[in-house]
Structure 1
């Protein structure tokens, strides 16, 4: 996502005052301003102006509670991952990325032998030879340099890109030479069309761009990476995903997979690919089905998002994700080997204009901050088409994933390897991102990777820094979640964790409103120092995390205030 350049016109003096700290700088110490003793006062001969005293605005109060003895469980460090970290400007100096995903539509047909992929529906179904800096091995090399674990997608669709020209004219599935009339052609490659004529989708010959492959290809791909980097246990690639969003293949890659995916096809290909990965590296973890959203959680493509239930009914009437887990559990019972380590699905909020776009209107911003509740809240009915499709039942997706795992394949971890709440360029998006990361930790998600991160000087990255590098010295939010509650989580969200390295209690507070909120924080089960350090990110300093004046603890309480639209971290050392 490219951020438009803004032209800011200001007086020179104001520009000097507003100059932000470098994006990689340590937190800014908040200045304390006091009137100078030498400041001259107006002459007594001047007629005083009329003083109008504004009516003091009412400040709301939301109280918080922390119990460090309750709700304790580890927070996985892998929830702070991203997709394609090496392509995000400035990220390596902003915070350490624990896991980096090689994923998305193009990886479904990536051929590791010739470094070529097909763009599919995303861009005129063209074969593209990756630049040397964009190959899979280059991706992994960058991760290894950064000390980041790689998550690599293995193709499962049955086709990968064949040897192709590296410059225009590209090989493509719907060339003008074969389909003269199409609705649209690539403006940079006039021979490549979108494969649609009027309202008719044209049929392609898969061999025009691709070669047919099976699970042996996946085995050889993983084996080649093991040969180059060692096994996962030896420091090689740690994670492999079973393709990308298979329920959408008949749209994203309809040139080679025009038929809707059935439950049986998903299982047969997933089992074969997982066996291939494990046979090449038994120490690597496998993730799947890595599908796109609500429809794919519950239905195969053959059931058209619930317009039919024939395929689902033929497979026990279970939601597709639950049935998928059930099949892998049966395979382990039969074969004695766990083939699936992470139950992985993608999550994009479906409210109008929330995901993937700019911050938007006031209504969109408010919806963005409410919609994070779809990840966990048993009382929240999703504010999108999902609520009608799901009979207005709460989605509470992470808890649903965990319930399915518990019932159908205990011991499987959970992952969300694509998500994006939008507004990444804004404080509104940063608030949502901080809330999502807090939810991931509290709810016990095991792995997550943000899709589509913009440059690391944008607000979204400061939400990550608040958890991973709040002081510029890589001190972090805690790694053992403890119980935290708010009198109004929708206005003032709170998450808490104890840090194992020094025993400090860390409390993340997100003020989702535009006004200051007063709060009394009640502490239980923790003997801490007399003061808590305070770090804050807000629109007042959009390019820095500000170290505020420490707040005092009075017995078992801390009374303080939280600025509107802010993310605040309290760090209370262990006594």
Structure 2
């Protein structure tokens, strides 16, 4: 478990200076248990807001091997405070403030064979056996444990005097806090550690590549650029007592990330992996300084002031962009930040009624521009849109990642419901990668939240990979997410009743005509050890009323019955800067079409310049083509086609999804 920064008074001061005030529960929350009755209206439009869902959002840290294999988990992270100072050569880590700043060698079968067979190697091998990609955390801090495989203390009692807390299994290892509550300073980092820079990291990456192949050939795919460097001055203060500055983060990232890319060009990097809210705007140095000084420091922290007043996250991304411009190499692939709810008792095992309610509504902090965080933060967080806006403004093309998060109580049903809501949010908001900290046990509700997205029927069936528009008139009470599955074009709809009581909710799915039958899978508090396959749900012209038990996750799986068309897009010719293409529309439904309009979005930068046999308009990446009257009718089983010419500059990738008269079509 990660330790969150303390010093609440100083952090509260930060929130007040920034203009935010903590608020109580929204009035709507008072009606959460209102319950055995009418719920919100749910709507799904398979033709709208379509975008890919990255499967990498369904990852974990230190996943259980059996659960990892069952779920075909996409990514698994070796992370946390102990990985900041890990020596792969001796399989020894320093546990930092998590456990008395001690070097602790791992128990391995054959220490003489190291580095072969280390716990890091075992981690990679576990992932490879499950077909899971590894995220390996590498050090930027500049220190790793000494070569000797022995227990060593960062704050020896014999050397630095009495301390407030002592390791119960080693009377010489203290917590670095003197009896009067002050931090012990001036200790010697070489008591436990030796310097280790970019060469050390490059050696580890080479070792992993030699042993398992490079990132392009089944080896370690991802490298996290350390862990929460902006609180090293707390978590690793025995070797890094001063907060990391803007310039330090730039220099160490340049050195280490470029060494990784030079050693394994296909590897992907993630950074700066800050601890949370303050990490977006403040360096570690500013967090340390303003935690001490308080007051006006938060309004104008010195390290930020020395860098043009630019927030740390924006400045960091700008420096990564500058490196690529200067050297022609991208050294940062994912902008990574950790997000833990700061509301009282959420991240933990608290499970009283008030905490349950707060836990379930606070997921809105991941996306909702109208939600004021109910903690010392006291302002709008909208974590994922904020991260995406930062990358777009400062380093376009950089993906977004959250390599640690946890909303608590994964062994309780409300924690599982919150986890399911979070996974739905990740997909809808377009996050690229996420790994849950503190993964659930196999039979915990939190594990079933993952099953509902990755293996709801026990046979590997998963939630769709193309997000579509889904809306609830009260997301706090009942959340809804929807996606189309590319393998069979089925529409999957995830409905999450966040209320403890049962509700009924009307659902409408646009584009469905006549009677449709949806498969129904459900998990909830009635049976927390199984996903139930219920009787099919009938929809009439896309409408149905759902009966949702309290604290439940219901997944509807709709076959593409309403998708009575096939669109085939053919690039007839392509040359530098230009192309011609043809589109064929086939009516596979049971009624004739009297007029037609087909729409698509270009993934590239194509621009249509002229067309024949259709009226074609374009707005940004969106293209609309409609009939010319003489070819308006398409009979049952019939088809029509049209063509056009266009230009492109850097990307001529063809479209992958089409709608005909508002209905998604199969792609020919």
So what's the TM-score if we normalise by structure 1? 0.86
What is the distance in 2 between the residues matched to 1:205 and 1:405?
39
Change (3 A) 1:426 1:89: farther
Q: Give runs of aligned pairs for residues 124-203 of structure 1, distance below 5 A.
A: 124-132=100-108, 135-166=119-150, 170-197=151-178, 198-203=180-185
Give 1:323's aligned residue: 315
What is the distance in 1 between the residues matched to 2:473 and 2:240?
51
Change (3 A) 1:359 1:532: farther
The match for 2:552 among 559, 563, 566 is: 566
* Aligned partners of 1:66 and 1:485 also within 8 Å: yes
Work out whether 1:531 is the aligned partner of 2:517. Answer: yes
Query: Can you give the 5+ residue segments of structure 2 that lack an aligned partner in the other structure?
Result: 2-33, 109-116, 291-296, 562-668
* Deviation, structure 1 residue 131: 2.2
What is the distance in 2 between the residues matched to 1:531 and 1:210?
63
Change (3 A) 1:206 1:370: same
Secondary structure of 2:419 counterpart: helix
* Aligned partners of 1:359 and 1:428 also within 8 Å: no
* Deviation, structure 1 residue 90: 4.2
The match for 1:445 among 427, 431, 434 is: 431
What is the distance in 1 between the residues matched to 2:383 and 2:269?
21
What is the distance in 2 between the residues matched to 1:523 and 1:424?
32
What is the distance in 2 between the residues matched to 1:66 and 1:152?
38
What is the distance in 1 between the residues matched to 2:403 and 2:393?
22
The match for 1:208 among 171, 180, 191 is: 191
The match for 1:464 among 435, 446, 450 is: 450
The match for 2:78 among 102, 111, 119 is: 102
* Aligned partners of 2:512 and 2:541 also within 8 Å: no
Work out whether 1:261 is the aligned partner of 2:244. Answer: yes
Secondary structure of 1:545 counterpart: strand
What is the distance in 1 between the residues matched to 2:104 and 2:128?
25
The CA deviation string for residues 271-305 of structure 1, in whole angstroms up to 9 with x for no partner, is 11110100110000010001101111110122126
Change (3 A) 1:57 1:184: closer
Secondary structure of 1:495 counterpart: strand
Give 2:371's aligned residue: 380
Secondary structure of 2:232 counterpart: helix
What is the distance in 1 between the residues matched to 2:207 and 2:65?
29
What is the distance in 2 between the residues matched to 1:417 and 1:406?
20
What is the distance in 2 between the residues matched to 1:327 and 1:555?
53
The match for 2:392 among 399, 403, 406 is: 406
Give 1:543's aligned residue: 529
* Aligned partners of 2:514 and 2:541 also within 8 Å: no
Secondary structure of 2:373 counterpart: coil
Secondary structure of 1:302 counterpart: helix
Secondary structure of 2:345 counterpart: coil
* Aligned partners of 2:69 and 2:130 also within 8 Å: no
The CA deviation string for residues 242-274 of structure 1, in whole angstroms up to 9 with x for no partner, is 100001111111000011111111111111111
What is the distance in 2 between the residues matched to 1:271 and 1:60?
56
* Deviation, structure 1 residue 58: 5.8
So what's the TM-score if we normalise by structure 2? 0.75
Give 2:402's aligned residue: 416
* Deviation, structure 1 residue 94: 4.3
Alpha carbon RMSD of aligned pairs, Å?
A: 1.6
* Aligned partners of 1:495 and 1:508 also within 8 Å: yes
Stretch moving more, 286-295 or 299-308: 299-308
The match for 1:72 among 26, 37, 50 is: 50
What is the distance in 1 between the residues matched to 2:36 and 2:129?
52
Change (3 A) 1:93 1:340: closer
Secondary structure of 2:557 counterpart: strand
The match for 2:265 among 279, 282, 296 is: 282
Give 1:518's aligned residue: 504
Give 1:8's aligned residue: none
Secondary structure of 1:340 counterpart: coil
Stretch moving more, 242-251 or 549-558: 549-558
Stretch moving more, 325-334 or 521-530: 521-530
* Aligned partners of 2:420 and 2:496 also within 8 Å: yes
Number of residue pairs the alignment of both structures matches: 510
Give 1:346's aligned residue: 338
What is the distance in 2 between the residues matched to 1:514 and 1:220?
53
Secondary structure of 1:189 counterpart: coil
* Deviation, structure 1 residue 127: 0.6
* Aligned partners of 1:514 and 1:565 also within 8 Å: yes
The CA deviation string for residues 49-91 of structure 1, in whole angstroms up to 9 with x for no partner, is xxxxxxx986123211110000000000000000011xx3742
Change (3 A) 1:362 1:483: same
* Deviation, structure 1 residue 92: 3.6
Give 1:312's aligned residue: 304
Q: Which has the larger strand fraction? A: 2
Give 1:246's aligned residue: 229
* Deviation, structure 1 residue 176: 2.1
* Deviation, structure 1 residue 529: 6.9
Bigger RCO (CA 8 Å, 6+ sep): 1
Change (3 A) 1:528 1:445: farther
Q: Give runs of aligned pairs for residues 209-228 of structure 1, distance below 5 A.
A: 209-228=192-211
What is the distance in 1 between the residues matched to 2:352 and 2:367?
25
* Deviation, structure 1 residue 354: 0.3
* Aligned partners of 1:359 and 1:424 also within 8 Å: no
Query: Can you give the 5+ residue segments of structure 1 that lack an aligned partner in the other structure?
Result: 2-55
